[in-house]
Structures are given as structure tokens and as C-alpha cells.
């Protein structure tokens, strides 16, 4: 969505396709309900795209000094990574959202290794399919220290947001 000098979005359209659940010009965008400006391969009004969220948002793959390797581009790895979405007891916590139903094993393994070696928490989601179609609901999974997992499980049971 936003332009960075080193990595380009195209041909990725994960943001515009609704995997992150955003609101564009007052209209909800979610899995199965792409942005009304999305052509499937880009934006039909890119010059006039809204500041929030389109111009402001940048995923973890496109951010400056991204630790994600080239192959983790969301259109290729089928995951959008958002670094430092929250903290738990001083530990940075990253969030990963699938481009599709689930994060593929290769990408999930990479993210779990990264969380482990860098001492970070990882929250990742799985899209819930209802009647053969993507819904706007997700199941959440937690990776990290046991106490972190327990606390996040309690928050989920209590219906509290994880980040
Ligand atoms: S997910 Fe990242 S690479 Fe893909 S369109 Fe959005 S900002 Fe660009
Ligand atoms: S307005 Fe354009 S850049 Fe923004 S979400 Fe829609 S298609 Fe993507």
C-alpha cells in the first residue's frame, strides 16, 4: 500500500484483499470482501488512496530494515507479518495473519524460529471458514514462553483482545 524504496508491493495485494481486516472509505474489507478499489492486481485509484489506512500502512516485509527474507513477501509466503504489535512483560510481540486460510508450514516455521532465537512472542491467526466461505472471524494461536501462552489463553477465554 505504501511505497518504500527497497521493496515494492507489486504483485502483492494482500492488504487490499482484506486479509488484515481494514476499513476503506467507511467500507469494511475482510477475507472474501476485497476493497472496492481493488482490481485483483492493484488499486484502481492509487493516486487518491486514503491516508488511513492505505498510505500509512506498511507491512513487516516492506518496512525499512525488515528481518524478513525476500521469500517472505506476503504474496509468496502467504502471510502478512506485523512486528511489535504489543509487549508482554517487556518482550516484543509480533502478529502474523495468513493470506488464505492458514499460514503455510515453511513461513510458520520461519516465524517460530525467529521468535525463539530473538526472544519474542508470536500471535498468529487462522481464518475461519463457514459454509465454504471465508468469514470475518479468526482463530488465534500463541507461540512463545509457557507463561505467555497461558496468559494469552486466559485472555482468549475471557474474550479479551490479545493486542
Ligand atoms: S501486504 Fe505488504 S507487500 Fe503486500 S500489499 Fe500490503 S504492504 Fe504491500
Ligand atoms: S484504496 Fe487502493 S490501496 Fe487502499 S485498500 Fe483499496 S485497493 Fe488497496
Q: Tell me what the mean pLDDT of segment 8-13 comes to.
A: 92
Q: Does any ligand 1 atom lie closer than 6 A to the CB of residue 66? A: no
Q: Does any ligand 2 atom lie closer than 6 A to the CB of residue 9? A: no
What is the CA(76)–ligand 1 centre distance, in A? 11
- Give the per-residue pLDDT at 75: 96
What is the CA(44)–ligand 2 centre distance, in A? 8
Q: Is the pTM of this model over 0.85?
A: yes
- Give the per-residue pLDDT at 135: 84
Q: Tell me what the mean pLDDT of segment 91-120 comes to.
A: 98
Tell me the percentage of the chain whose pLDDT exceeds 90. Answer: 84
Task: Detail the DSSP E strand segments found in 32-90.
Answer: 79-88
- Give the per-residue pLDDT at 3: 45
Residue nearest to atom 5 of ligand 1 (CA): 13
Predicted confidence (pLDDT) at residue 16 exceeds the cutoff of 70: yes
Residue 74 CA: distances (Å) to CA of 39, 147, 156, 160: 18, 30, 26, 28
Atom of ligand 2 nearest to the CA of 37: 7
User: Among residues 57, 104, 96, which one has the least CA distance to residue 76?
Assistant: 104
What is the CA(141)–ligand 2 centre distance, in A? 28
Q: Does any ligand 1 atom lie closer than 6 A to the CB of residue 78? A: no
Neighbours of 34 (CB within 10 A): 18
Cell, residue 142: 500463541
Residue nearest to atom 2 of ligand 1 (CA): 59
**Residue entry with cell 507489486:** 10
The span from the CA of 28 to the CA of 25, in Å, is 8
The span from the CA of 42 to the CA of 38, in Å, is 6
Q: Tell me what the mean pLDDT of segment 39-43 comes to.
A: 90
Q: Does any ligand 2 atom lie closer than 6 A to the CB of residue 54? A: yes
- Give the per-residue pLDDT at 1: 53
Amino acid at each position: 500500500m505504501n511505497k518504500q524504496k527497497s521493496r515494492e508491493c507489486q504483485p502483492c495485494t494482500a492488504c487490499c484483499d482484506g486479509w488484515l481486516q481494514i476499513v476503506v472509505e467507511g467500507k469494511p474489507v475482510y477475507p472474501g470482501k476485497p476493497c472496492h478499489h481493488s482490481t485483483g492486481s492493484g488499486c484502481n485509484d492509487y493516486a487518491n488512496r486514503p491516508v488511513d489506512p492505505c498510505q500509512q500502512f506498511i507491512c513487516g516485509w516492506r518496512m525499512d530494515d525488515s528481518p524478513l527474507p525476500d521469500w517472505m513477501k506476503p504474496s509468496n509466503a502467504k502471510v502478512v507479518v506485523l512486528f511489535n504489535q504489543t509487549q508482554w512483560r517487556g518482550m516484543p510481540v509480533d502478529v502474523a495473519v495468513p493470506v488464505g486460510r492458514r499460514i503455510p508450514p515453511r513461513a510458520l516455521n520461519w516465524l517460530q524460529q525467529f521468535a525463539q532465537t530473538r526472544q519474542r512472542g508470536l500471535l498468529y491467526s487462522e481464518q475461519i471458514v463457514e459454509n465454504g466461505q471465508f468469514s470475518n472471524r479468526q482463530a488465534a494461536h500463541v507461540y512463545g514462553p509457557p507463561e505467555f501462552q497461558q496468559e494469552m489463553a486466559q485472555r482468549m477465554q475471557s474474550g479479551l483482545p490479545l493486542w
